Chains A and B, each alone.
Chain A
Amino acid sequence: MTPDQRDLDELVKRLLADPANSDHPMHYALSQLWLAHRELLNRIERITHVSDAYQSIAREREMSLAERFDKQLRQLEKVARISDRYQQMMRELNIALEEASTHDVLTSLANRRLLMERLKAETERAGRLQHDFCVAMVDIDHFKQVNDQHGHDTGDRVLIEIARVMQAEVREYDLCGRWGGEEFLILLPELDLASAQVVVERVRLGIRNLAIRQGTEALTITVSAGLAAHLPGESYSDTINRADAALLRAKQHGRDCLVLAS
């Protein structure tokens, strides 16, 4: 309320209260106007009060909504972070499972399943693009004697060492795998028989030069190998069979040698 208004209020009150004015013709009108004025002021005050209350409720609600929103946001971020980590864990487990299902536990070479998968793919590729590939079957000579004379632990060590040498002597694109027992298969893509022969001979000599310690002595291990080039239109099992037949001839020729399939 401004000072002018307060002065006016005081003046009106004083005039209405003065008995000298009670008979004035405007006394009744002024007193009615005064009442109406007071009522109006009261009403404005009430409206202001209610409106303020509504505003503060709205504000409180807004604050609690903002708080809840922040909390939900934090929770969502956390859920997403944990979920991502679970998915990462599943991905890694899948990779480990895939590795376990395609590799030999003892030697870490490709297992028969992976070899067959790759042989199938390579046969299809050869048919499509007229590319060459060769398959070598490699068998350890007298492996049963190693096991019998030195025990299975030594036998396992021989297998591991031979796998390591094979892996080191082949080209990057070749695939070495354990076909079964003491028999290994090498898949040599994009090579004709003569070039593949060079690689397999390198593997064979590498294995013969290997000295596997057994107490005070060093074991010398030799392998026999049969090598076949995939023929156009031939299934991969036919190629393997011809490499196997060549391996058998290598064994018959006194072992420790490589024979090429006809």
Chain B
Amino acid sequence: MSDFSIPRSQSTPAIQGKWSEGVLSMQGDSYPENSYELFHQVFEWVERFLQDAGRPLTLELHLLYLNTSSIKAMMDIFDLLEAAHHAGQPVAVNWHYDKRNERVADLAEEFKEDCTFPFAIVGF
């Protein structure tokens, strides 16, 4: 399986999946008109990685604004991680936020609520 990379646009975040490192990163705002189109490739990549790679997976998130369908997509991805975690696979999320906007940290807390895998909220 290979890496993938989606460049940032005005309404979508930059996304990189690095298969050999086991890292999926996202940076920016996400309010696309069609979230499914954007996130299904991310979802599939995560699904395949968890199935085939046999390595730990870490998500490095630098996300600021998410629209409603992007929130749903992120929750679906976290559900995948949660299932993998229950199956004994090491997964982790690092949610990075700008300390000048503490509200992003509160929102990350909301996402973290139902997750039992390691989920760090890191200020910079």
Contacts and interface: CB of A to CB of B under 8 A. Distances in A.
A82 interface: yes
Nearest to A76: B72
Interface in B62-81: 65-68, 71-72, 75
Interface in A61-101: 75, 78-83, 85-86, 89-90, 92
Interface stretch (B13-21, B43-51, B88-96, B104-112): B104-112
Band of interface residues on A:
10 to 19
Interface residues of B, number: 16
B110 A78 contact: yes
Nearest to A75: B75
Interface string B100-119: 01011011001101100000
Interface of B: 65-68, 71-72, 75, 101, 103-104, 106-107, 110-111, 113-114
Contacts of A90: 65
A82 to B, nearest CB: 5
Nearest to B106: A85
A86 B75 contact: no
A82 B71 contact: yes
A89 B71 contact: no
B107 A78 contact: no
A89 B75 contact: no
B75 A83 contact: no
Interface of A: 75, 78-83, 85-86, 89-90, 92
A75 B111 CA distance: 11
Contacts of B67: 83, 86
Contacts of A86: 65-67, 71, 107
Nearest to A92: B103
A83 B71 contact: yes
Given A79-B68, A83-B68, 13 more contacts: A75-B75, A78-B110, A78-B113, A82-B71, A83-B67, A83-B71, A85-B103, A86-B66, A86-B67, A86-B71, A86-B107, A89-B104, A92-B103
B75 A79 contact: yes
B110 A89 contact: no
Contacts of A81: 110
Given A75-B75, A79-B75, A85 B110 contact: yes
A90 B75 CA distance: 21
Contacts of B72: 75, 79
Contacts of B110: 78, 81-82, 85
Nearest to A93: B101
A85 B110 CA distance: 10
B104 to A, nearest CB: 8
Contacts of A79: 68, 71-72, 75
